[in-house]
Amino acid sequence: MESLREILSPDFLLRNSLYTSMLIGFVCPLVGVFLVLRRLVFMGIALPQISSTGVAVALSIPVWLGTGQLEHTTATEHALAFAGSTVFSLTAILILAFLERRGRGQPEGRLGAAYVVAAALSILLLSKNRYAEVGWLDLLKGEIITVSNFDLVLTAATLAIVLTVLGMFQKELLLVSFDRTMAVTLGKKVFFWDVLLYLLIGLTVSMAVLSVGPLISFGFLLIPALTAHLFARNMRQFAIFASLIGGMSAFAGFWIAYQWDCPIGPTDVVLLGIIYATTWIANRLIKAFTYAR
């Protein structure tokens, strides 16, 4: 319990890391709900890695231009990384969504290829950038050690925008995701709502990758939503339970990682996996018992 008291202390050294992890934990599942509804789970895997490639490319630009290295802790570097992450995420999701709507090729194959190439390219780019390699390779592996006040504010502000838009247009976004035929029948502008949703997904992924890395981003995007989908009875419960599972797992994972001196990212994802597996088994047992009666 001593470690828990330390974490809850306002003077806790890694409090920004905890706050950022919990922000990602609460908000990412709300976006992940739409990925699950649209059966875009593979996109949830590929996008964080593609976004991290945008970070790697952005941080390599000063080297390519011969203007020198950026200091790792400066706001300039983080702004450049956020721009690269956002551009790559939005471009990728719009292209992949366009190809999916056209029905050409195999979407799983495209997403798998994009994931593998993006992962390899990220490591190659950062390995040639000595200053960026110090902190960003650790972030890509899910090792969240320190988060500056600037990063925390940027994360909170960006996710607040995402939450606001989701709250304002929840009905429209759910309708085009859950029943596109009905949306067309009711005269909804399906293309517009698709683009808006993809922009929100891309922005969330970009911010999550910049804050906690692709590993945690992928974990919180999909696993809480998949878990909540097992027992939620309606869309409201689906979204609320997914968010609660993500936020509570982020806190518990941070506590476990701090207690046992483990990397935060892998700890969070493994914990989410255990919760998902336990819930799936319990769900199966309940159904089997119900049918047996």
Most confident among 25-34, 127-136, 139-148, 173-182 (mean pLDDT): 25-34
Indicate the residue type of 43. Answer: M
Q: What is the pLDDT of residue 2?
A: 76
Tokens of 244: 């609660």
Note the pTM of the prediction, 2 decimals: 0.85
For the chain, domains (ranges, CATH) are: 2-292 (1.10.3470.10)
Decide if 265 contacts 143 (C-beta within 8 A): yes
Note the residue count of the chain: 293
For the record, the structure tokens of 26 come out as 């609460």
Q: Which amino acid is at 203?
A: L
- The mean predicted confidence, pLDDT, of the chain is 83
Q: Is the dihedral of CA 145, 268, 45, 201 positive or negative?
A: negative
Phi, psi at 92, each rounded to 5°: -65, -45
Rounded to 5°, angle at Cα 282 from 278 and 287: 150
- What 3-state DSSP class applies to 204? helix
The pLDDT tens digits for 121-169 are: 877 777 766 655 555 666 665 566 677 788 888 889 999 999 999 999 9
Tell me the three state secondary structure of residue 233: coil
DSSP tag of 38: T
Whether 63 contacts 196, CB under 8 Å: no
pLDDT confidence of 269, banded at 50, 70, 90? very high
Token pair listed for 145: 């050690």
Scanning 186-234, the segments in alpha helix (DSSP H) are 190-212, 214-229
- The percent helix, strand, coil of the chain (3-state, each to 5) is 85, 0, 15
CB 124 within 8 A of CB 52: no
